[in-house]
Structure 1
Amino acid sequence: MTIILASASPRRYDLLTQVGCKFIVMPSSVIENNEQAMLPHELAVLQAKEKALDVFSKVQTHDVVIGADTIVVLDGQVYGKPVDKNDARSMLTSLAGKEHQVITGIAVVTANEIWKDFVVTNVRIGDIAAAEIEAYLTTGEPMDKAGAYAIQGMGALFVESINGCYANVVGLPLNKLSELLKKAGVKLL
């Protein structure tokens, strides 16, 4: 049995490696669509499941595939990864001085079953000056992150508080993932 991470995210790779998980990376070819008419947590779980199933269809039936999708939600609006610098600027401006939710959907797929769940973490971003946003944009860091910031990078300078799972904000809630993997017969410890 091989554990496969259906994601090219370096943050997810780092988180799984940090807890000693032996796995391989096989990115999904599913294109994220944050415009679907459903509740945000349902969207994150659906996209995680689609990514995991996409990869599972290409591997051995005894393998275990992990799919994940992280979104940011502010006042009911879903923010995925910014499409360009203007989009990132708009996201950061909207998040400044407010609390938002980071939701990660997770799916663990085996030949016999699909386990799925989600985690919500509340994050408050402090006030951010326009010049700080511009300086942050020039680093390139916001461009492949849901909500256009990296809590594990320079984006941490904007985070005033967090209530919930830190690893969720990075992109993979390890505690919830461990629960789902145990159900699939995989123990990380």
Structure 2
Amino acid sequence: MTQLYLASGSPRRKELLAQTGVIFERIAAPIDETPQPKENPRDYVIRMAVEKAESGWRHLEEMGLALKPVLASDTSVIFADEILGKPLDAADAINMLRKLSGQTHEVLTSLALKTEAGVDTRLSISRVTFADLTDAQIANYVASGEPMDKAGAYGIQGLGGLFVSHLDGSFTGVMGLPLHDTAALLAQHGLGALAE
């Protein structure tokens, strides 16, 4: 019996959400992810999650499906107040990784849970420090294909994790779904392994 809908096509988010013990199905929730002019990165990432959750809710209504909570998430990599999204191509990925080399950046992952009562949000903030990367290391990593569908052009759970010299925050948050925050949010709505 479905308890929740996940408005995400990410295989990583699907795997992580399964760890919370909630029974869920995935639904599509397409939105325009263009940042607004001068939009603060924290406001942006929260807005994205809320819009995904609301898009998923509208999908349920349009399809005549039972209205169960819709969970959405958004992850952005922030360096020097710039939002580093998914790279457009290999050159863009190389450029992003050069910026992150030897530096500390923030990874913001927002959660939004839409119910009939409204939308609850959470924001997980992690600080990630990269080692100094050589041009060859960057080129080999980009050639692997791993960076191409990931914010900031790296996946901490894959080969990109080799570049991380220090993490202050949530490993699963950097992956795309902060498990502790997600479980706590779901528990407030009587869902998942932490629900009483």
Give TM-score, length-normalised by structure 1: 0.94
1:187 paired residue among 189, 192, 196: 192
Q: Distance in 1 between matches of 2:92 and 2:35?
A: 14
Q: Offset of 1:16 from its aligned partner?
A: 1.1
**Structure 1 residue 36, shift from structure 2 partner:** 4.2
SS in 2 for 1:19: coil
| TM-superposition CA deviations, 1:40-86 (whole Å, max 9, x none) | 11110100000010011121453110111100011111111111111
Q: Aligned pair in 2 of structure 1 residues 108, 48: CA closer, same or farther (>3 Å)?
A: same
Equivalent residue, structure 2, for 1:87 = 92
Distance 2:145 2:136 in 1: 15
User: Which segments of 5 or more consecutive residues in structure 1 lack a partner in the other structure?
Assistant: none
1:54 aligns with 2:55: yes
| Structure 1 segments of 4+ aligned residues over 4 angstroms from their partners | none
- What is the aligned partner in structure 1 of residue 3 from structure 2? 2
TM-score (norm 2): 0.91
Indicate which of 135, 158, 161 corresponds to 1:156. 161
Aligned partner of residue 111 in structure 2, secondary structure: strand
Q: Distance in 2 between matches of 1:123 and 1:150?
A: 12
Taking only the aligned residue pairs, the percentage that are identical comes to 37
Q: How many pairs were matched up?
A: 189
| 2:13–2:177 Cα contact (<8 Å) kept | yes
* Structure 1 contact 34–79 (Cα < 8 Å) conserved: no
Superposition RMSD on alpha carbons, in Å? Answer: 1.4
Task: Give, in whole Å, the separation in 2 of the partners of 1:32 and 1:5.
Answer: 18
Unaligned runs of 5+ in 2: none
